[in-house]
A and B are shown apart, each in its own frame.
Chain A
């Protein structure tokens, strides 16, 4: 599903966010990305959805080299990927419902389909009562769940979640994790960057630990931690 070969990412300002990273993720896997702030977790997810291009090395998603992909193929890559952004990236003048519907709209979905799917997804993240509200009137956790709903609304084959529980109370976090497990069981590959050590420890999934842009640990059924 995802292959990174000797990938480095140097931002234009000279910051080296990733350094010679090689990583393989198979279809259907559930992977936690852990590591201290600034380790390069978000950068890694951005390389996978081609928000950023690698400075060196190759990134393959679904067998396709994202750097060499033609511009007009990029939308089709992104439609297969659901993304939960660390900064949510909701559209401020659209309601919760419209924000989620928008992910379907941009792919040219019919209004019939949108009317059918969006309420279901909002119920899954517990936001059915907030459907008509604008992002500015939501709590941080509600905005985050809107972002999750938008990411899963078009049944992605890959879910990239950048700290999706960062603003959630423990109980809601667990609700969300159950949802993720459910989605994962139905075949969606999940890559989740997180600082929530309790979740990582009890889920017993694959854990990839980053520090200073390098992978320092990669184990199946691992626990939280990035000291060697």
Chain B
């Protein structure tokens, strides 16, 4: 393949894009919207996971114990807890220690708690660290079943809420993505079909002049790929700059929240969007050429 042929492919495909300008805009628009949805739900899921794993307390479970357990029972429990899946570390906290911690958290208003030492209402407890945030709810349920456990507390439901949010985002995100992705493929296919139709006479002449199928198809294939790539590029840029400004805003107003901001993850997301846009374009035109250009 020489330079002239490549020039021909690009010239013809650009011409087609311009000729079908409205359809081209519509298909690029659909690609942009579906990729925006994909990109933002992906970032949301990534961030929730990131936050959940960085917020220290989200990994913690507190197991409150019944009163009057002897040394031996406590030892046995600690062993049993270590065997619960997901448990990484176990620490025993006496009721005295718990009261101290509570006082500390009250700071200068700790006086309210004075007098409690005599008849300490706080129970003994185990403080448990899990290896992953996702493990917390299941581990907690298992811990509840142990003998001598009074109550199990963790993350005040925040972990579960965040995780169920990502769960729904995943489901709805993929659902809309599939629907919109299909629409995008369909629109690309229609655009290419119109291009083929507009040039059917020319295609016939090309065939008679000895053009190969590859040569005939390439400009149309390229047209779809260009539309897809354009959609991917616009979506990636919007996501990129949108996310940057979000990072800035969060850093100012909610400085304690750590969002995903390592460049490698971001570039991987953006590259994925670009690649997917390209893929949608290629698949759309391939479908169309397969159906309407049996040369």
Residues of A bordering B, CB below 8 Å: 49, 51, 71-72, 75-79, 81, 83, 85, 89-91, 102-103, 105-111, 114, 150
Contacts and interface: CB of A to CB of B under 8 A. Distances in A.
B211 interface: yes
Interface stretch (B1-9, B96-104, B142-150, B181-189): B1-9
Contacts of A76: 210
13 contacts: A71-B213, A75-B207, A75-B212, A77-B210, A78-B207, A78-B210, A102-B206, A102-B209, A105-B8, A106-B215, A107-B211, A108-B2, A110-B4
B2 A79 contact: no
A71 B3 CA distance: 26
Contacts of B204: 89
B202 interface: yes
Nearest to B295: A71
Residue of A51, A72, A103 with most chain B CB atoms under a 10 A cut-off = A103
B1 A89 contact: no
Contacts of A51: 208
B246 interface: no
Contact of B208 (A72, A89, A110): A89
Contacts of B205: 89-91
Contacts of A105: 4-5, 8
Nearest to B1: A108
Interface of B: 1-5, 7-8, 201-202, 204-213, 215
Given A91-B201, A108-B2, 11 more contacts: A72-B213, A75-B207, A75-B210, A78-B208, A78-B209, A89-B204, A106-B211, A109-B2, A110-B3, A110-B4, A111-B7
B211 A75 contact: yes
B212 A103 contact: no
A49 B204 CA distance: 13
B195 to A, nearest CB: 14
Given A89-B205, A91-B202, A91-B205, A107 B4 contact: no
A78 B204 CA distance: 13
Contact of B210 (A71, A85, A107): A107
B288 to A, nearest CB: 19
A106 B213 contact: no
Contacts of B208: 49, 51, 78, 83, 85, 89
B4 A114 contact: yes
Given A102-B209, A103-B209, A108 B202 contact: no
A74 to B, nearest CB: 8
A101 to B, nearest CB: 10
A108 B5 contact: yes
Contacts of A71: 213
A107 to B, nearest CB: 6
Nearest to B2: A110
Nearest to A102: B209
Residue of B7, B8, B205, B213 with most chain A CB atoms under a 10 A cut-off = B205
Nearest to A114: B4
Residue of B201, B204, B208 with most chain A CB atoms under a 10 A cut-off = B208
Contacts of A110: 2-4
Contacts of A91: 201-202, 205
A106 B201 CA distance: 15
Shortest Cβ-Cβ A-B pairs, 9 listed:
A79-B210, A78-B210, A106-B211, A111-B4, A75-B212, A75-B210, A103-B209, A106-B209, A108-B5
A158 to B, nearest CB: 12
Contacts of B1: 108
A77 B212 CA distance: 11
A84 B145 CA distance: 91
A109 B211 CA distance: 12
A72 B212 contact: yes
A106 B206 contact: yes
B210 A108 contact: no
Contacts of B201: 89, 91
A98 B4 CA distance: 13
Contacts of A106: 206, 209-211, 215
Contacts of B211: 75, 106-107
A106 B218 CA distance: 12
B4 A109 contact: yes
Contacts of B213: 71-72, 75
